[in-house]
Structure 1
Amino acid sequence: MKVKVQKIDGAKISGASGDIELNKDVFGVEPRADILHRVVTWQLENRRATARPTRERADVARTGKKFGNQKGGGRARHGDRGAPIFIGGGKAHGARKREFEQSLNKKIRALGLKMALSSKAKDGLVVVDSLELKDAKTKVLKGHFDKAGFTGKVLVIDGEAVNDGFKKAAGNLKGVNVLPAAGANVYDILNHDTLVLTTDAVAKLEARFNG
């Protein structure tokens, strides 16, 4: 499938370099909601951090020896310094450590990424020649985006590494995120209205699935 290549400011490129052929095995897969849901759920669950567990009564190193007489002391009859009422004792009903990590087959993860890219290829994909900016300033880049018609949340994916000037200029633009090709993932792609790929990013993503 052929797609027009443009400049970052939306200007068209003439000649042979103005078109790029996208691999249909990567950008032409029919999306399935169940596969995308599984991959997104796996991503979000693995992002969750575990709460630091508290030490309960059985976890503290305090004496269990009865430290006072059963009667005659004028106090309550305690038998363990690890009780929650004492300083240094274990916490009653404390937070427990919970693990949220899930496993997902590599083939399903790869298929999910292909489907996410394919869904954007149908609507919301823009291919640019590079992210080089003559003047790497936020105001200038904002003008380029407005001229190109990028609205809403925009995800920009570059090749091996994101262009430094572009990354700094995009850092203060609300709703704009940048990633190298290695960081492309289903959740971020689906969570943005527009996906901008450089020609290097396209080559990297296609090579990633073609071994």
Structure 2
Amino acid sequence: MKVKVQTLDAKTGGDIDLNDEIFGVEPRADILHRVVTWQLINRRGPARAARERSDVARTGKKFGRQKGGGTARHGDRRAPIFVGGGKAHGPRARVFTSSLNKKIRALGLKMALSSKAKDGKLVVIDNLDVKEGKTKALHTQLGKLGFGKTALVIDGDALNVSFAHASANLQSVNLMPAMGANVYDIMRHETLVLTRAAVEKLEARFNG
């Protein structure tokens, strides 16, 4: 699969051959759904348990008479109705984890990349050099390129410092290294932008 390489100045920088085994896979909604669900489950933090009646450090001595005190009958101060008492039916400690076959995870990433290529939402950029790292300059350049409402920009091993500084205040643009490429972030952005270095790293990631 041949794709035109662009520059941030909206000029053509030649062509690049994309591996059809990575960027030409027919997407399947069920595979993408499984991988996204796996990601969202594993990103959840553990649930913190509340202290129940047996966990509260208060005396268990009966603090008042059974009758004649003019108040309700109580046994100890651990009861949930008292300030500082145990929580009634509180949340329990839970850890949210899920497992998914490594081959399915790799296939899901290939399908996510292929889905963007199939829909014409995959853009390959020669490099991410921004003059003086200015946000205003980058905003103007992106407007000419027409990346849509949201764009995920994936670079090589190291992020381009000037682009990272310039895009820090742009809510519509997210930047990550090739190692962090994942199905959820790719699918939730309208446009996927890859640098030449990112294409090399992604292809090496699957071939290696």
- Normalised to the residue count of structure 2, the TM-score between the two structures is 0.91
Q: Deviations over 1:52-106 (max 9, x none)?
A: 3221112212232333443444443322221113332102233333443222111
**1:157 aligned to 2:154?**
yes
Match of 2:39 in 1: 43
- Unaligned residue ranges in structure 1 (runs of 5+): none
**Residues 56 and 90 of structure 1 are in contact (CA less than 8 Å); yes or no, is this contact kept in structure 2?**
yes
Cα drift, residue 131 of structure 1 = 0.6
- Deviation per CA, 1:88-136: give whole Å up to 9, x if none: 2102233333443222111111110010001112221111111112231
CA RMSD of aligned residues (A): 1.8
CA distance in 1, matches of 2:128, 2:91: 47
- 2:3 counterpart residue number: 3
Alpha-carbon distance in structure 2 between the residues aligned to 1:3 and 1:84: 66
1:54 and 2:50 equivalent?
yes
Distance 1:8 1:110 in 2: 30
Q: Does 1:33 align with 2:29?
A: yes
SS at match of 1:150: coil
> 2:163 pairs with 139, 161, 166, which one?
166
Runs of 4+ in 1 over 6 A off after TM superposition: none
**Range with greater deviation from structure 2 (189-198 or 19-28):** 19-28
Checking the alignment, whether the CA contact within 8 Å between 1:11 and 1:148 is kept in structure 2 is no
Taking the aligned partners of 1:74 and 1:151, their CA distance within structure 2 comes to: 71
Q: TM-score, normalised by structure 1?
A: 0.90
Residue segments in structure 2 that go unaligned for 5+ positions in a row: none
The size of the alignment, in residue pairs, is: 207
